[in-house]
Structure 1
């Protein structure tokens, strides 16, 4: 594949190396406003690169203006932040080109979300808390992955709502609350925990990312599948369905 990289931070540096190790070519990079020594051609529009697929590990300020243009190149998008706007734009683009979106490119996180759905159907009387931990350079909180897990929980628990800060709450916890916590420190790659708690018992579901390569490999696997797909909006729920 000829791959266009959108953004050239840590994640797409890793993606480029793994892609070239696997025999793919990097067609170029779009990284406006980023001060990097980039060893690939620079582009300002997605289709200019004439790539087979574009892989985005950037931020809304970069990807959203690019989606204002007509885009025919298949898109693998992993931007977190401003999720509603990003997905709305991608839905528009999916009318003319295949688009894959995931707030977390790890397939294991997709499995975590599926396990969560099952647990929610069986543990409706348990209090629910969610927590994520990431490195100290991550700017958005809670993470896009935790937002996805929270959305799953909210959809399965009628009347539930998130609580992000208990410092001003001076009363006992309500059953409808879903606690949401974010921790930032050091070089933590990414950990997501879902805690179900009831009298005398606790059930925890956890996913730990032990290297950033799992996200890059996930994006490359999605890209390899996406280039053979018809225009549509894809995620891990439908990407690998038989054509």
Structure 2
């Protein structure tokens, strides 16, 4: 494949290395504004004419992602940007009328399976309290993570709950229909997401631990390899295969 990268942070640096190892080609990097940073590939901006490419892989931010989706190109899009999720999905569904598009807040197939397991478990554990905990490195800016939001959405499809992000605001006991959301930032933690089901005298924990950012980069490349052969449409892990 010929790949354009939207943004060139830590994730797309990994995408570039792993894509080259697999025999793919990086044709350029798309940015939203000029940079003094020396980059290893040609730089383009959202309003530019892009070079020939089979797919765009985007691990950037909404400042790049939304204008990129709304621009005139018809290159298949693999979007892994977190932040402004609903706006991104709405724009992708419009774009999907004339090009294949894919979105996931987490490119790990293991996280996709985690989501499936949670949706299976929630109806079976309807009397259990649910808590969500995510842990990431100390450089991560947003919180809660896009993946935690994805897990919360999956839970909400099966059980209507009230998200609680700060219990210091009120002095009262936890309500059964609350779902606690805890955010941990420290060190070099790649990414951990835990769903805790707490019942009477017992707990069940479902945890996904990312041991390397390569799982997300490889996931994006594998999605791109499938997406470029798909008809126009909006895809997720649920309907890509």
Same fold per superposition (TM over 0.5): yes
* 1:186 to partner: Cα distance: 1.1
* 1:47 to partner: Cα distance: 5.8
TM-score (norm 1): 0.96
Matches within 5 A, 1:123-202: 123-158=125-160, 160-202=161-203
Q: 2 CA distance for matches of 1:131 and 1:4?
A: 34
TM-score (norm 2): 0.96
Structure-2 residue corresponding to 1:238: 239
* 1:35 to partner: Cα distance: 4.4
Larger deviation, residues 176-185 vs 43-52? 43-52
Local SS of the residue matching 1:48: coil
Output one character per residue of 1:47-73: Cα deviation in whole Å (capped at 9) or x when no partner: 612200000000001111222212300
Structure-1 residue corresponding to 2:108: 106
Find 1:66's aligned residue among 65, 68, 82.
68
Q: What are structure 2's unaligned runs of at least 5 residues?
A: none
Q: What is the aligned residue count?
A: 239
Q: 2 CA distance for matches of 1:65 and 1:217?
A: 25
Local SS of the residue matching 2:154: helix
Structure 1 moving runs of 4+ over 4 Å: none
* 1:148 to partner: Cα distance: 0.6
Q: What are structure 1's unaligned runs of at least 5 residues?
A: none
Could you say what the CA RMSD is over the residues aligned between the two structures, in angstroms?
1.1
Q: Indicate conservation of the 8 Å contact 1:47/1:73, yes or no.
A: no
